[in-house]
Every structure is written in C-alpha cells, then in structure tokens.
C-alpha cells in the first residue's frame, strides 16, 4: 500500500478526520517541526478558573513527588472524559504544545490534566529518581490517584494524549492494561514506536541537529541537582555525544540493560501494540525528521481498529501547522474523542 493510500485510508476509515493541508509558509518536515517554536498560547494556568495542582507521592522513602495541572472547562455542565496529556522528551506540562492542545480541548468542553513526567517541569526539584519510556508505573499511579481521590473529575471517563517519546509509556500502559484498561480513547502524536530505529535515524544527515537538541534536553533532566549519581554515571552522562550514546552508556545501564539495543528492544511500544484494546489514533507525518515512517508502513493496520494510523504526507515532528494557522493534530484529537463518545452512546442505546 502506498503512503498516499495509507493516508487516505485512515481518513476514510475515520470519517471524523479531514486531510492535512500544510501552511504555505511552513512547508516541509523541518519547517513544520520548527513551527512549534512560533506557538503563542493564551492559556494562563494560574488564572484559569478551577485550576488545581496535583501532587502525588510515590512509595519511596523519602518519596518523589509527581506533579501536574488540572483544568476544568468553563462550562460547569460538561460530562466529557478527563483528558490526561503527556509531553515528549525535554518538555514539561507547561510547554507551548501542551498548553495549546489543552486549550483546544477545554474549548470543546474536555477537562484536562497537563502532566509532568517524573523529574520534568515543577517536579524537577522534587524527584531524585528517574523514569524511562517503558516505565508505566507513574501513569498507573496517576490513574489510581484520580479514581480514589478525584473521582468527581472522571465521572465522564478518562482519555489520553501523548507527544513524541511521551507516547511510548502511554501506549505500553494501554497494552499492559488490555481489556481492563480504564481509558476510553487515546491519541499519540509523532510517536517513535521503535526507539532503536528512531535513535539510529537521529544520527544521520541533518537529523544530527535535532539529536544534539534532544541530547541537551535529556542531559539537563538527568543532571538535575537533587539526583544521586556515581562518578562513573556522571561521567557517562556528561561525555555522551548523541542520544544513542547517552542511552547506551547511561540510561540502559541505570536500568540494568546491557546497552542501548537491549534497552530499546525491551521498551519500544512497537512490540506490544497488538495488546491494546483501547480505541487509539496514532498521528504521524511522513516527513517527520525524527521518526522513520517505515515503522508505520510496515505494520498492517485494519479498518476495524482499535488502532488507527492517521498518516499525513507532511507535518514534521509534532508540528502539523495547517493552512489556517491551526494545529491539525489538535483538531484530529477533538474529533476522534467526539467520535468515540458518539460510538459509546450509540452502543448503550
């Protein structure tokens, strides 16, 4: 099946979606990716009515504290699911793309939680331990916390959205929960389904520029002041010259893997997708400079789901700036969730 046929097939399967038309001034994978830097989002968390900071302690002594932001829609009558949003590598709960999709969801009456991965954003100073893309316990802990302490927030159910590498633990969580998953619907944006392929791709051609950007972001998170590392670990983190080398010499060994290849193969979402039972939309651009689209094209996607690949010919890495200056992946997310709600309502009649 050709790339164009795959793209159209996904759009035709989910009639709620529309094809992506890139902005005329932001064409090509790199320009679409860089368009994220132009985001200016009119969402002030501190002044948003009903905003609450979520704090969850883990079971260590002393505990790490996981942090996120709850934002209800301004309509008090909304019965839609709470959408938990996860950022990508080097991002935080308040990154521009996080607040942008958060605002889009709020405008369509979806309550949201903008979540920091362990050690990111405001949790940086309150976490002395690490997570990795195959680690799903923090998501499980968050869902449990919402069910036990904030059940009134999730009366309409739970949905999830995740960006880039942050989609890997979300997809693995959905797979691990299987038929018992409490999540009604999920969306991944520019997910590196096979981390080994993605990491190799980052080391070729102009992609090295992005590799160095991600390396700086990842190293800053690893070397935050309150973590305890041996001299050997510090040296490995400081001297890594690529994301692959950091994962090979530091991250893999930190989590008891022999090296990057074993670490990637054990934790990549590509190997567990068939275990997912939640309706899930996977958005990807064929000109993504980070994620190789062969990983998407080599998989057999079915019209029946529960996994649906929305493959656009352009959009870059989490860019998707359309001809109207809006983010296509945000529109896809809202329409997909609305469609899932409609299907659930019709099934219950």
Q: Assign 18 a pLDDT band (cuts: 50, 70, 90).
A: confident
| Interval 136-171: pLDDT, tens | 999 999 999 999 999 999 999 999 999 999 999 999
What percent helix, strand, coil does the chain show, rounded to 5? Answer: 45, 15, 40
Which strands sit side by side in the sheet containing 279-285, from one edge to the other? 52-57, 65-71, 112-115, 82-86, 158-163, 183-189, 279-285, 307-312
Which residue's entry shows tokens 């990154």?
95
> What was the pLDDT predicted at 13?
67
Give the residue from 212, 240, 267 where a domain finishes. Answer: 267
Residues 241 and 334 grouped into a single domain: no
Residues 37 and 120 grouped into a single domain: yes
More confident call, 37 vs 180: 180
d(CA 290, CA 276): 24
Residues 253 and 289 grouped into a single domain: no
> What was the pLDDT predicted at 3?
40
Residues 24 and 58 grouped into a single domain: yes
Q: Assign 310 a pLDDT band (cuts: 50, 70, 90).
A: very high
Give the residue from 267, 301, 317 where a domain finishes. Answer: 267
| Interval 242-294: pLDDT, tens | 999 999 999 999 999 999 999 999 999 999 999 999 999 999 999 999 898 88
Given a cut of 70, whether residue 187 has pLDDT beyond it is yes
Q: Assign 204 a pLDDT band (cuts: 50, 70, 90).
A: confident
Q: Assign 344 a pLDDT band (cuts: 50, 70, 90).
A: confident
Residues 142 and 180 grouped into a single domain: yes
> What was the pLDDT predicted at 65?
96
Across-strand partners of 65? 57
> What was the pLDDT predicted at 98?
97
| CA distances from residue 270 to 128, 208, 238, 282 in whole angstroms, order as listed | 29, 24, 30, 12
d(CA 322, CA 157): 30
CATH of the domain at 325: 3.40.50.1820
Q: Which residue range is the domain that position 241 belongs to?
A: 203-267
pLDDT mean over 198-223: 88
Residues 189 and 76 grouped into a single domain: yes
Number of domains in the chain: 2
> What was the pLDDT predicted at 5?
39
Residues 316 and 169 grouped into a single domain: yes
> What was the pLDDT predicted at 337?
97
- Give the predicted TM-score (pTM) of the model: 0.93
Residues 185 and 36 grouped into a single domain: yes
pLDDT mean over 62-85: 93
Tokens of residue 240, six digits: 């890594």
Residues 50 and 97 grouped into a single domain: yes
Residues 185 and 238 grouped into a single domain: no
Alpha helices by DSSP H, listed for the chain, are 3-13, 29-34, 96-107, 137-149, 167-177, 195-201, 207-222, 231-239, 243-246, 252-254, 260-267, 294-297, 328-348
The chain-wide mean pLDDT, for the chain, equals: 91
pLDDT mean over 325-333: 95
């Amino acid at each position: 099946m050709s790339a164009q046929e795959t793209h159209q097939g996904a759009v035709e399967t989910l009639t709620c979606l529309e094809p992506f038309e890139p902005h005329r001034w932001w064409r090509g994978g790199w320009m679409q990716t860089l368009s994220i830097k132009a985001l200016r989002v009119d969402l002030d968390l501190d002044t948003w009515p009903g905003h609450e900071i979520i704090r969850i302690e883990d079971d260590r002594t002393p505990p790490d504290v996981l942090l996120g932001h709850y934002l209800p829609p301004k309509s008090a009558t909304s019965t839609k699911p709470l959408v938990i949003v996860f950022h990508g590598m080097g991002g935080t709960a308040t990154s521009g793309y996080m607040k942008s999709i958060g605002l889009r969801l709020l405008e369509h009456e979806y309550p949201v939680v903008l979540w920091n991965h362990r050690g990111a954003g405001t949790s940086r100073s309150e976490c002395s331990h690490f997570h990795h893309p195959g680690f799903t316990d923090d998501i499980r802990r968050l869902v449990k916390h919402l069910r036990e302490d904030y059940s009134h927030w999730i009366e309409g159910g739970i949905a999830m959205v995740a960006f880039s590498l942050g989609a890997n633990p979300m997809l693995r969580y959905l797979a691990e929960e299987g038929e018992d998953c409490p999540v009604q619907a999920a969306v991944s944006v520019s997910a590196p389904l096979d981390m080994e392929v993605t990491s190799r791709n980052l080391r070729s051609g102009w992609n090295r520029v992005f590799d160095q950007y991600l390396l700086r972001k990842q190293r800053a998170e690893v070397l935050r002041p309150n973590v305890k590392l041996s001299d050997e670990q510090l040296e490995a983190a400081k001297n890594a010259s690529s994301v692959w080398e950091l994962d090979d010499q530091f991250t893999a060994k930190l989590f008891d893997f022999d090296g990057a290849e074993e670490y990637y193969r054990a934790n990549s979402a590509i190997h567990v997708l068939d275990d997912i039972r939640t309706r899930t939309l996977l958005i990807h651009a064929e000109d993504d400079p980070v994620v190789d689209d062969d990983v998407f094209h080599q998989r057999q996607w079915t019209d029946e789901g529960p996994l649906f690949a929305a493959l656009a010919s352009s959009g870059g890495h989490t860019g998707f700036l359309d001809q109207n200056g809006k983010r296509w992946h945000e529109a896809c997310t809202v329409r997909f969730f609305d469609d899932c709600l409609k299907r659930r309502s019709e099934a219950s009649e």
